[in-house]
């Protein structure tokens, strides 16, 4: 297997009783890369990470992490990885320093080595003043930062993070990412599960997981460009009425609420003016449609629709319109993004 791949997964499969959690998953992460794993709850993200850690045995497939087989030599893999689980997994009745020392010793890091590392990590995460505080008395954000410090104390080659910032305040999230950004320079590879699209956008590559399979993986930019539907931001009143109206229009693929605005996804071939006219006729006021760059969130939503369509295709046995979007399930990263119009936002009021 290739030397510059930090994570290499082939045909990974895991079923729990009658539920298939991971179903033939292939994944490759290059050394020093930040890979984001996104997908709805139950998509198999945590199960995948646990198999990469060597703490869960796969039913089938190959897993190589940091140059070792996670199934045959889990101890070798464990010594070279750091893992930040979704749930806080450190001892609440130990202090920050004690937790770090405990894990450093479990990884048999020589004391002379890790103390300097600890100071450095405490400094970057702004955790130094809390070193003698019990973990139980830390806020959610500080706990996650502590988990990260502990996962990095033995300088792992690969860092696996399972929704590390879920429920963490923005400031702590910023501190958290402060460390993550620095890691690729040190040759650390990261695989990150996240429900936050802004975090996914910071990854080098993002893989969309659905029902234990990767639907598509690419750079965030390429993923955004793969959306052929046009997305408009509309501010209208009354919003709920506009939303109901738009949902019923055949040229509309989806409507999402973003605060006081709606994100309206139109089919690629649709004429936007038609939609706005329909709205005005229904008596919806204050229209200010503006075409926007699709965000990863839009990609995620569109992918959800795609999955739905594919399901109905299977049901009807006919080629649905979703085929027309021209999106292959997995878009190779080498392929140039398809040309598209309307790259710049349409100024407010434009139709």
Partner 1 sequence: MSRLAHLIKKEFTQVRRDPAVLRLILIAPIMQLVLFGYAASNDVRNVPVAICDQDNSADSRQLAEEISQSRYFHLTPMAGDPRALEGLLLRGTVQIGLHVPRDFHRTLERGQTAQVGMYVDGTDSNNATVAAAYLTGLLRARGVSLAERSARAAGRRGVTMPGIRSEPRVWYNQDLKSVNFMVPGVFAMILLVLTVNLASLAIVRERETGTLEQLLVTPLRARELLIGKTVPFALMAMFDAGIIFLLARGWFHVPFRGSMALLFGMALVFLLHSLGLGLVISALARTQQEAQLTAFMVVMPNILLSGFMYPVENMPVVIQYVTYLIPLRYFLQIVRGIFLRGVGVEVLWPQMAMLVGFGVVTFAIGALAFRKRL
Binding site for partner 1 (CB under 8 A): 53-55, 75, 78-79, 81, 83, 85, 87-94, 98, 101-103, 105-108, 134, 150
Smallest distance, partner 1 to C-beta of residue 186, A: 20
Smallest distance, partner 1 to C-beta of residue 52, A: 10
∠ CA 130-132-135, nearest 5°, is 75
The smaller minimum CB distance to partner 1, of residues 92 and 280, is found at 92
Closest CA to 149 of 184, 102, 108: 102
The smaller minimum CB distance to partner 1, of residues 83 and 232, is found at 83
**Number of neighbours of residue 250 by Cβ within 10 angstroms:** 9
The smaller minimum CB distance to partner 1, of residues 101 and 331, is found at 101
Smallest distance, partner 1 to C-beta of residue 85, A: 5
- The DSSP 8-state label assigned to residue 293 in this structure reads P
Smallest distance, partner 1 to C-beta of residue 274, A: 53
The smaller minimum CB distance to partner 1, of residues 127 and 242, is found at 127
Across the beta sheet with 60-65, the strand order is 19-30, 5-16, 60-65, 68-69
Instruction: Report d(CA 203, CA 192) in Å as an integer.
Output: 8
Q: Which residue in this structure is represented by tokens 């300097």?
A: 116
Instruction: Looking at 81-237, list the stretches that DSSP marks H as alpha helix, in order from N- to C-terminal side.
Output: 96-106, 111-124, 140-152, 170-182, 197-200, 220-225
The smaller minimum CB distance to partner 1, of residues 93 and 318, is found at 93
Instruction: Report d(CA 38, CA 67) in Å as an integer.
Output: 25
* 50, two tokens: 């646990």
The smaller minimum CB distance to partner 1, of residues 81 and 180, is found at 81
Smallest distance, partner 1 to C-beta of residue 35, A: 19
Answer whether 65's CB lies under 8 Å from 142's CB: no
Smallest distance, partner 1 to C-beta of residue 78, A: 4
- The DSSP 8-state label assigned to residue 30 in this structure reads E
């Amino acid at each position: 297997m290739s030397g510059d791949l930090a994570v290499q997964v082939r045909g990974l499969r895991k079923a729990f009783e009658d539920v298939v959690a991971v179903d033939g998953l292939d994944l490759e992460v290059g050394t020093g890369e930040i890979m984001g794993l996104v997908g709805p709850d139950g998509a198999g993200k945590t199960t995948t990470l646990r198999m990469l850690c060597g703490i869960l045995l796969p039913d089938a497939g190959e897993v190589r992490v940091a140059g070792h087989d996670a199934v045959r030599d889990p101890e070798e893999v464990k010594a070279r990885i750091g893992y930040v689980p979704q749930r806080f997994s450190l001892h609440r009745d130990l202090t920050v320093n004690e937790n770090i020392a405990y894990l450093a010793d479990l990884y048999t890091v020589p004391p002379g080595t890790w103390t300097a590392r600890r100071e450095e990590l405490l400094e970057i995460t702004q955790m130094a003043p809390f070193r003698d505080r019990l973990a139980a008395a830390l806020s959610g954000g500080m706990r996650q930062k502590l988990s990260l410090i502990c996962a990095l104390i033995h300088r792992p080659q690969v860092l696996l993070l399972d929704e590390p910032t879920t429920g963490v305040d923005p400031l702590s999230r910023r501190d958290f990412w402060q460390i993550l950004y620095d890691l690729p320079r040190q040759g650390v590879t990261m695989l990150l599960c996240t429900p936050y699209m802004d975090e996914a956008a910071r990854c080098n590559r993002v893989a969309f997981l659905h029902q234990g399979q990767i639907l598509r993986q690419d750079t965030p930019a390429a993923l955004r460009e793969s959306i052929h539907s046009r997305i408009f931001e509309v501010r209208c009143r009354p919003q709920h009425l506009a939303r109901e109206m738009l949902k019923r229009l055949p040229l509309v693929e989806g409507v999402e609420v973003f605060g006081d605005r709606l994100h309206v996804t139109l089919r690629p071939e649709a004429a936007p003016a038609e939609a706005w006219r329909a709205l005005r006729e229904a008596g919806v006021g204050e229209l200010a449609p503006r075409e926007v760059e699709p965000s990863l969130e839009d990609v995620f939503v569109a992918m959800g629709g795609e999955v739905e369509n594919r399901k109905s295709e299977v049901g009807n046995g006919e080629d649905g319109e979703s085929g027309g979007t021209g999106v292959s399930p997995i878009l190779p990263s080498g392929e140039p993004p398809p040309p598209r119009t309307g790259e710049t936002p349409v100024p407010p009021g434009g139709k």
